[in-house]
Structure 1
Amino acid sequence: MKEPSQFALLKSRRFLPFFLTQSLGALNDNIFKQALILAILYKLNISDDAQGSSTLLINLCALLFILPFFLFSALGGQFGEKFAKDKLIRALKLSEVLIMLGGAAGFLFNNLYLLLSVLFCMGLQSALFGPVKYSILPQTLHNEELIGGNALVELGTFLAILGGTIGAGLILAGTDYWAQVTAFCVLAVALLGYFSSRFIPSAAAALPQLKLSLNIPVETWATLRRGLGQTPAVSRSLIGSSWFWFVGVTYLTQIPEYSKDFLGGDESVATLILTVFSVGIGLGSMLCEKLSGRQIEIGLVPFGSLGLTFFGLLLWWNSPDLVTSASQQNWLEILAYSHSWWVLFSILGIGLFGGLYIVPLYALIQSRTPENERARVIAANNILNALFMVIAALVAMLLLTKAGLSIPQLFLVLALMNIAVNTYIFKIVPEFTMRFIVWLIGHSMYRVRHQGFEHIPQEGGTLMVCNHVSFIDVVLLGGALRRHTRFVMYWKLYNLPVLNFIARVAGCIPIAGRSEDMAIYEAAFKKIDEYLKNGELVCIFPEGKLTTDGELNPFQGGVTRILQENPVPVVPVALQGLWGSYFSRDPKRGFFRRVLSRINIVVGKPIAPEAATPRALHAAVAELRGDKL
């Protein structure tokens, strides 16, 4: 049965009003911020002294918007736990309307100080909105919808960046009444956002008895400790997502001046580059569900990190020299130069791989955090995001104004730093690397299709039995199954290079024959018993060895011993299409034989433990496999 597309969520009241509310908020942020940045560059009378006042003001804008996230996210986390999320969102959207009244006045009266103050207030409103924004998703979506929901949120956010960027650019470049038009737009979008928030369905408070603490320093530190005190996978995902925003804010902040000084472009060129960046993020976010098979696939994170570094280096390499001419060209004129296409290609790649990097991280944080702590953990994430973005602004200012680096050289430093930061994360949490290897094998050498996965119970102790065709059966099954699975592996396979790393990190169970090593044999059954009693999914290969002719070997009696201790449902599974591959024992196998061939994983209905004899299970797996070896 074909699984529904993530876009089906846009037809659901569980998601659509929230999606519109979030997207309109992001749209308003970017209309205002981009209009202010472009006004500083092109409209307001700001002297350009030796210190580069426009450069300092642009980075100050980034600092003022981000600083409230550091100061007030802990309070936002408390609000997100204590109050009903739908009511809280409506209150915050109403405050946006009031803030934008001040923003409209700032544009109408060309008051830079008022505009900067409004920018800070926008950051405050967003800081309070952030924790509820991401903590409401696991409350309203099913687990298999989290990747799609997060991808749509990221798509909506960066389409909003795209719309706000294009809109602000067109307004400032296309009319003398830019201040009046900008004032009208920010007020209208704020009102639309409040209207859409009225339709968000009820989302109860997770911890209504929580006592609010207004001691900002103490609560900020406590929130950070709570977030970083989660499991290593969650805590390092917080760092990874914050690093993404360090990278993202650096690019987004520097692109307008990069467009002007290194491409010789006007406002439309900055708009074009930011548009391409936003489209890349949206494409990467949408690809996540396709590449992950609707599961939370953190193996995409290292893939995204590699792409961020590669395209960051490509952007630096293809950046032209500083433009000395005072004339500015529009986007159509800029496209006449070959280096401009390389710059756009690099920016698109950075955005695309950024989407592949960030969406799985958010989904992992949401899914592996306790519900009554989720808003505060996301608040901790926002604090870290803010801290990293503030540091990004300070680092950019120091490197550009004090160290004398050019903007392309700053991009080079950023790409090299990305290698160091993510190497640290993947070393501390090897699960990222393990899942990347599993995902890479499953998507580069084979085309894996799934059938009957709805038969696998989502919780409770369950035994899975599967035919054993190749050395990488565990890798392919582990990459496809949505539920974490403990695989029982022959101890010699368990100790093979690469497989051993995957097996150890995934928590597989090595087993030996009784005649080979009785201690390993008994330890394996003890572990199986422990995992089933803990309600986990355990997969065994009852043949006890790889097939040598493609046919099923008889099933051994170990399954009977397991079920005597733990009478759990047994799910039969069949692998189709692996015989003849390089990792099988087919004598005619070759490295390129059956590369990119179609592999089917077919799951049957659970069998009651009292009916799950070795013969019955053998027949069930044989029927699922059919004639396709």
Structure 2
Amino acid sequence: MSSQFQLMRERRFLPFFLTQFLGAFNDNVYKNALVVLITFQAARYTTLSPGVLVNLAAGIFILPFFLFSATSGQLADKHEKSRLIRITKLMEIGVMGLGTLAFALDSLALMFAALFLMGTQSSIFGPVKYAILPVHLREHELVGGNALVESGTFVAILVGTIAGGVTIALPGGAVWVSAVVLVVAVLGYVASRGVPAAPIAAPDLKVNWNPLTETWRNIAFTRGNRTVFLSILGISWFWFYGALFLSQFPGYAKDVLGGDEHAVTLLLALFSVGIGVGSLLCERLSGKHVEIGLVPFGSIGLSLFAFDLWWASPAAAHAGEALPLATVLASPATWRALFDLVMIGVFGGFFIVPLYALVQARSEPGHRSRIIAGNNILNALFMVVAAGLGAGLLAAGCTIPQLILITAILNAAVALYIYTLVPEFLVRFIVWLLVHTVYRLRVKGVEHIPEEGPALLVANHVSFVDALVIMAASRRPIRFVMDHHIFRWPILSFVFRSSRAIPIAPAKEDATMMERAFDEVARALKAGELVGIFPEGRITDDGELKPFRPGIRRIVERTPVPVVPLALRGLWGSSFSRKDGPALSRPFRRGFFSRIELVGGAPFAPEAATPESLQAAVAGLRGEMR
């Protein structure tokens, strides 16, 4: 597919997207209508203050995620997912029917009961929602699919929140809200009828109905893969960050910007649009595969623009009557704050979409839904902590701009901690940065690199960053065999060590290291990994292809695997090549964004992979462009 938007024409995606969109919209119509009702008319129902009721409503909605997510994950793994989706949409019709009855009877208790059941329905739908995407989407579509889902969800939240507030404020508002939520629930069920069936992940699973023990078990599933677990912590941190920001919008609009309720809506709209734009840009920036290099990029933006939002905020809180939106927008400081808010949303999209795609791609299919259920539990926990932290800091005398600054600092600290634990994130960021600043990479034929199983990749050696360029183009990690001098290059050494590159030396220089390298290559291939080598043995000093050394034969004779020829084009003459002297002797001699290419060819069978045949294949793929 040339664009993620083509998924919107596909039956395997569009019905699911509409189901998710309508569900998110409906939840927020009802929630915000209820919040507005109890904010302005609490005295009709109880002696409790509106503030207490609003926080109680938030707690009631999120409680089912703690109680039922673990069970929901089991059900999603044990049963067919499209059928479960339809059942949850039928539940939604029933829940909205109860909400309609609550409005008709003007019963606050029934309204809260409907809110609790709405949270229950959402907690059941959550594991199915993210577990079904990798079933119906190919690996190169996961980022685009998640981007559409995330951007659509935030748009649905925005439109639903506005619609709920506006509708309940109309004469006879409760009737209008009831009509909207019932109609949308029915439309959601109709859309769910088109979701294709998905294979059952674990049909023999015995459901554990104890929510406490199963919750702990689900969290243990998330810890089974270190990268997946830390990605889930990253997702949960994003929801912590987002919840902390969203809860401050009313206060920031009123006390800092001096605006009215229209200013609050504007802040929410810009934040949501920013996340939608950032999510949709992920596919283009990631080259249509799960590019976790965008995650550090996103975290940098989340801290940088939050810091600037604090810096740009007026020092003194606004006092007096709320100003009309036009007056608020007349201030340059407001425009800077709004820009920061949009960029926080954009970089939030860069941060969250690859993490969701990574969790889906690397989770064990047999218990993927339970892993996502564990993710939902941790998300809910982080959001509750965020609400408590925000309330506590504000009660202690912290201003909203100071709270934003604390959030920016915390985000930087958490990001550094996660990237220290899993260097793969930073490695991919460095690789991604290289091919999006110094170079402009065009890729052809990389579909010949197998999506699973072992293979040996062979390429011409033009510069010190050849391995990084190939890593950027590959959807799978590659372990490169490289000269031990290049392996120890400053800065690049971090990348090579973190990607588990294999240093090698000539036999006359260090025979022990050479033998150790061949042993490690064999182990890697037997483990089903990709191994990359540069058979010329050294970086070219004249741009021409040198004879391929016989080490290729030794590798495939010991471990027979397919051999994929790759050709790097356009790197000769770049900063990291040896044209006209040592590398980096003339930095950026071709400027930024110089065009380079990686071209892949059809795999060779092990018995046909001779140095001569592979050299001829690489030379043919390279052509005249050095």
Q: TM-score range by the shorter chain?
A: over 0.9
Question: Does structure 1 residue 223 correspond to structure 2 residue 218?
Answer: yes
Aligned residue for 1:297?
291
Shift of residue 342, structure 1, vs aligned partner: 1.6
1:170 deviates by 3.8
SS in 2 for 1:223: helix
- Counterpart of 1:95? 91
C-alpha distance in 2 between matches for 1:8 and 1:30: 28
**How far does residue 45 in structure 1 lie from its aligned partner after superposition?**
5.1
Task: Please say if residues 166 and 275 of structure 1, whose CA atoms lie closer than 8 Å, have aligned partners that are also in contact.
Answer: no
- Pick one of 595, 607, 621 that aligns with 1:598: 595
Residue 189 of structure 2 corresponds to which residue in structure 1?
A: 194
Matched, 1:491 2:488: no
Alpha-carbon distance between aligned partners in 2 of 1:171 and 1:44, rounded to the nearest angstrom: 18
Deviations 1:392-440 (A, max 9, x none): 1111222223x12222222222111111222221111111111111111
Query: Secondary structure in 1 aligned to 2:508?
Result: coil
The CA deviation at 1:457 is 2.3
- Secondary structure at the counterpart of residue 598 of structure 1: strand
Consecutive unaligned residues of structure 2, counting only runs of 5 or more, are none
Separation in 1, partners of 2:386, 2:149: 24
Query: Secondary structure at the residue paired with 1:151?
Result: helix
Superposition pairs of residues 465-614 of structure 1, within 5 angstroms = 465-587=458-580, 590-594=586-590, 595-614=592-611
Is the contact made by 2:228 and 2:362 (CA closer than 8 Å) also made in structure 1?
yes
Superposition pairs of residues 110-509 of structure 1, within 5 angstroms: 111-171=107-167, 175-228=170-223, 230-320=224-314, 321-329=316-324, 331-401=325-395, 403-509=396-502
**Which letter does structure 1 place at the counterpart of 2:302?**
L
RMSD across aligned C-alpha pairs, in angstroms? 2.1
- Of 3, 6, 9, the residue aligned with 2:7 is 9
- Cα separation, 2, equivalents of 1:332 and 1:115: 36
Residue 63 (structure 1) aligned to one of 52, 59, 62: 59
Q: TM-score, normalising length from structure 1?
A: 0.94
Tell whether the 8 Å contact from 1:103 to 1:183 is kept in structure 2 after alignment: yes
Mapped contact 1:63–1:393 kept (Cα < 8 A):
no
Structure 1 residue 163, shift from structure 2 partner? 1.6
Mapped to 2, the partners of 1:183 and 1:205 lie a distance apart of: 36
> Per-residue CA shift, 1:541-572, capped at 9, x if unaligned?
01100000111111111112112223322211
Contact 2:168-2:176 within 8 A present in 1 as well: no
Asked if residue 621 in structure 1 is aligned to residue 611 in structure 2, the reply is no
> Which AA in structure 2 matches 1:11?
R
SS of equivalent residue, structure 2 residue 514: helix
How far residue 95 of structure 1 moved from its aligned partner, in angstroms, is 0.9
Shift of 1:176: 3.3
Q: Does 1:33 align with 2:31?
A: yes
Percent sequence identity over aligned pairs:
52
Partner of 2:203: helix, strand, or coil? coil
Are the counterparts in 2 of residues 81 and 375 from structure 1 also a CA contact under 8 Å? yes
Larger deviation, residues 181-190 vs 512-521: 181-190
The 10-residue stretch of structure 1 (53-62 or 72-81) with the greater mean CA deviation from structure 2 = 53-62
Q: Which moved more, 1:79-88 or 1:29-38?
A: 29-38
- What letter corresponds to residue 281 of structure 1 in structure 2? I
Give distance in 1, aligned partners of 2:53 and 2:311.
Answer: 28
Q: Deviations over 1:335-379 (max 9, x none)?
A: 222222122111111111111111111111111111111111111
Contact 1:169–1:267 (8 Å) recurs in 2: no
CA distance in 2, matches of 1:565, 1:233: 31
SS of the residue aligned with 1:413?
helix
In 1: Cα distance, 2:85 partner to 2:264 partner:
33
CA distance in 2, matches of 1:32, 1:13: 29
Residue 581 of structure 1 and its aligned partner are, at CA, apart by 1.2
The CA deviation string for residues 460-505 of structure 1, in whole angstroms up to 9 with x for no partner, is 3222110101111111111111122121111111112222211121
CA contact (8 A) 2:143 2:282 kept: yes
Contact 2:42 2:49 in 1 (8 A): no
Q: 1:203 to 1:37 in 2, by over 3 A?
A: same
Q: How far off its partner does 1:186 sit?
A: 1.5
**Against the structure 1 CA distance between its residues 194 and 333, is the aligned structure 2 distance closer, same or farther, given a 3 Å change threshold?**
farther
C-alpha contact (below 8 Å) 1:165/1:274 kept by paired residues: no
CA distance in 2, matches of 1:26, 1:149: 17
Return the alpha-carbon distance in structure 2 between the equivalents of residues 40 and 339 of structure 1.
33
Give the structure-2-normalised TM-score: 0.95
Q: Which moved more, 1:488-497 or 1:54-63?
A: 54-63
Runs of 4+, deviation exceeding 6 Å: none
Distance 1:456 1:225 in 2: 33
Q: CA deviation at 1:261?
A: 3.2
Deviations 1:438-472 (A, max 9, x none): 11112111111101112222233222110101111
Structure 1 alignment gaps of length 5 or more: none
The residue type paired with residue 71 of structure 2 is L
Query: Using a 3 Å threshold, how does the CA distance of structure 1 residues 264 and 121 change in structure 2: closer, same or farther?
Result: farther
For the residues of structure 1 that align with 2:53 and 2:318, how far apart are their CA atoms?
Answer: 21
Q: Is the Cα–Cα contact under 8 Å of residues 92 and 129 in structure 1 kept in the other structure? A: yes
Q: Could you say if the C-alpha distance between residues 109 and 268 of structure 1 is closer, same or farther in structure 2, counting changes exceeding 3 Å? A: farther
Q: Distance in 1 between matches of 2:546 and 2:487?
A: 21
1:333 deviates by 3.8
SS in structure 2 opposite 1:515? helix
TM superposition shift of 1:218: 1.5
State whether residues 62 and 253 of structure 1, in contact with CA within 8 Å, keep that contact through their aligned partners in structure 2: no
Q: Larger deviation: 567-576 or 488-497?
A: 567-576
1:205 CA displacement:
2.2
* Secondary structure in 2 matching 1:516: helix
Bigger mean CA offset, 34-43 vs 208-217 = 34-43
Between 1:102-111 and 1:593-602, the stretch displaced more is 102-111
Distance apart, 1:328 and its partner CA: 4.6
Partner amino acid, structure 1, of 2:120: L
**Corresponding residue SS for 2:507:** coil
Q: CA offset at residue 73 of structure 1?
A: 0.7
Q: Deviations over 1:222-256 (max 9, x none)?
A: 2112212x221111111111111111112222213
User: Is the contact made by 1:573 and 1:621 (CA closer than 8 Å) also made in structure 2?
Assistant: yes
Greater shift in the superposed pair: 562-571 or 9-18: 562-571
* SS in structure 1 at match of 2:116: helix
Q: 1:111 Cα shift?
A: 4.4
